[in-house]
Amino acid sequence: MRAELIAAARADGRLTGVALTGSASTGREDRWSDIDLALGVSGASQIEPVVADWTSRMRAEHGAVHHLDVRRDAWLYRVFLLSNSLQVDLAFAPEAEFGPRGPTFRLLSGNAKELPNAQAQTAEELIGFAWLYALHVRSAAARGKLWQAEYMVSAARDYVLAAACRRHGVPTGEGRGIDQLPDSVTRPLRGALVARLEPDEIVRAFGVVVERLLDEARCSDPRLATRLEPTMRDLLDSTRAAVTARSSM
Output the domain CATH number for residue 174.
Answer: 1.20.120.330
Whether residue 43 sits in one domain with residue 152: no
Whether residue 52 sits in one domain with residue 8: yes
pLDDT tens profile 76-112: 999 999 999 999 999 999 999 999 987 789 999 999 9
- Mark which of 53, 82, 110 sits at the end of a domain: 110
| Cβ atoms within 10 Å of 200's Cβ, excluding its own | 12
- Mark which of 110, 142, 162 sits at the end of a domain: 110
Whether residue 143 sits in one domain with residue 49: no
Q: What residues does 17 pair with on adjacent strands?
A: 40, 110
How far are the Cα atoms of 136, 220, 238 from residue 188, in angstroms, in the given order? Answer: 22, 18, 23
Q: How far is it, in rounded angstroms, from Cα 118 to Cα 243? A: 42
Asked if residue 238 belongs to a domain, the reply is yes
Residues spanned by the domain of 33: 2-110
Q: What CATH number is associated with residue 10?
A: 3.30.460.10
pLDDT tens profile 180-203: 999 999 999 999 999 999 999 999
